[in-house]
A = this chain, B = another copy of it.
Amino acid sequence: MHVRVYVTPKHGILDPQGVAVERSLPALGFDGVSGVRVGKFIELQIDLADGTPADQARSEIDEMCRKLLANPIIEDYTFTVDQA
């Protein structure tokens, strides 16, 4: 199954990349942009044993996010699973 993970800095946590982007945009001629947050977008393919229940797959992916893909202290994450 194809998994897409979206990691974003938690609200209230300083996001230096987002600040840098937001400050650069007016100089490039883009006005009216606010609230820029830069996070991570991770795609992966996971092959589980045939007949693995969907919630077991989701809980395994969730654990993968907590342990490696995101830092749950300063980041939020969501993911989508595509059976294809």
Contacts and interface: CB of A to CB of B under 8 A. Distances in A.
Interface of A: 6-8, 18, 21-22, 24-25, 28, 30, 32-48, 60, 63-64, 67-69
Question: How many chain copies?
Answer: 2
Contacts of A8: 41, 43
A19 to B, nearest CB: 12
A40 B40 contact: yes
Contacts of A41: 6-8, 38-41
Contacts of A63: 30
List of 9 A-B pairs having minimum Cβ-Cβ separation, nearest first: A41-B41, A32-B47, A35-B45, A39-B41, A36-B44, A37-B43, A34-B45, A6-B41, A33-B46
Contacts of A47: 32-34
A39 B32 CA distance: 25
Contact of A24 (B42, B44, B68): B68
